[in-house]
Structure 1
Amino acid sequence: MSWQAYVDDQLVATGKITKAAILGKQGGVWAASSGYNLSQAEQDAVVKTAFTQPDQVRANGITLNGFKFMTLRADADEVIGRKGERGVFIIPTNQAILVAEYDAPTSAGEANVVVAKLADYLKSVNY
């Protein structure tokens, strides 16, 4: 399965995720949903800062595709952001980082299950 298929079929097609991307831990966008363009600074914030400097992410929030989320949680396992009706889950795997946004009426719990399930699968196959 291509990386784009993971974004399209395993995340966005569930109806629980509105926008998503898979970033490589060494940098670069492996796949992204249509119109979801993360700037280089936004990619760097996810890849280089989100999991190594969680205090900074908690203090400053995280901006994705030009939209700034308030950080609710930032640790080695997950970054969770929210603003208004929108939210984001950022979950690292062995070689990649999943970024998945959701919007009302989807709840955080519904979105988290979708993203965590894909992250667990990718970890199980060493990605």
Structure 2
Amino acid sequence: MSWQAYVDSNLLATGKIKKAAIHGLDGNLWATSADFSLPKAEVDTLIKAFVDPAGIRSAGLNLGGTKYVALRADDRSIYAKTNTSGAVCVKTKQAVLIAIYENPVQPGEATKVVEGLADYLIGLNY
């Protein structure tokens, strides 16, 4: 399966995720939804936050020009929220999944979709 198919079929097609991207841990884009473009600086900041989340905890997380408040940040998952949307970012062995959901989708619904795909990819050594 292509990386784009993972974005389209495993994330967007669930109806829980509005925008999504998969980037390698080097920051390079592997796949993205049509309306979701992340500047390299935002991706680099996100990837660094899996190691040291202090920066996003104090200053927030920018994704696609939208500023999110970090709710959870550890070496696997980063969850963030605005008033009307949220982000679920999960690191695998070789990539980071970045997904944006919007109201009325609940955080737990989006988290289940993204974490599930991450677990699958980790099982495949990605």
Bin for the TM-score computed over the shorter chain: over 0.9
C-alpha deviation, 1:27, in angstroms = 2.1
Q: Distance in 1 between matches of 2:39 and 2:27?
A: 12
Alignment-mate amino acid for residue 96 of structure 1: A
- The superposition leaves residues 22-71 of structure 1 with CA deviations (integer Å, 9 ceiling, x where unpaired) of 01012201001011000111111122x21121111111111011000011
Alignment-mate amino acid for residue 50 of structure 2: F
Corresponding position of 1:56:
55
TM (normalized to structure 1)? 0.96
Corresponding position of 2:83:
84
C-alpha deviation, 1:19, in angstroms = 0.4
Corresponding position of 2:3:
3
Alignment-mate amino acid for residue 87 of structure 1: G
What percent identity do the matched residue pairs reach?
47
Unaligned regions of 5+ residues in structure 2, if any?
none
Say whether residues 1:125 and 2:96 are aligned partners. Answer: no
The 5 A counterparts of 1:86-101 are 86-101=85-100
Q: Distance in 2 between matches of 1:83 and 1:73?
A: 13
Unaligned regions of 5+ residues in structure 1, if any?
none
Alignment-mate amino acid for residue 83 of structure 1: T
- The superposition leaves residues 90-119 of structure 1 with CA deviations (integer Å, 9 ceiling, x where unpaired) of 100010000001001100010000001100
Give aligned pairs, total.
126
- The superposition leaves residues 62-91 of structure 1 with CA deviations (integer Å, 9 ceiling, x where unpaired) of 101100001111111211100002000110
Corresponding position of 1:32:
32
Alignment-mate amino acid for residue 97 of structure 1: V
- The superposition leaves residues 8-33 of structure 1 with CA deviations (integer Å, 9 ceiling, x where unpaired) of 11000100000000010122010010
TM (normalized to structure 2)? 0.97
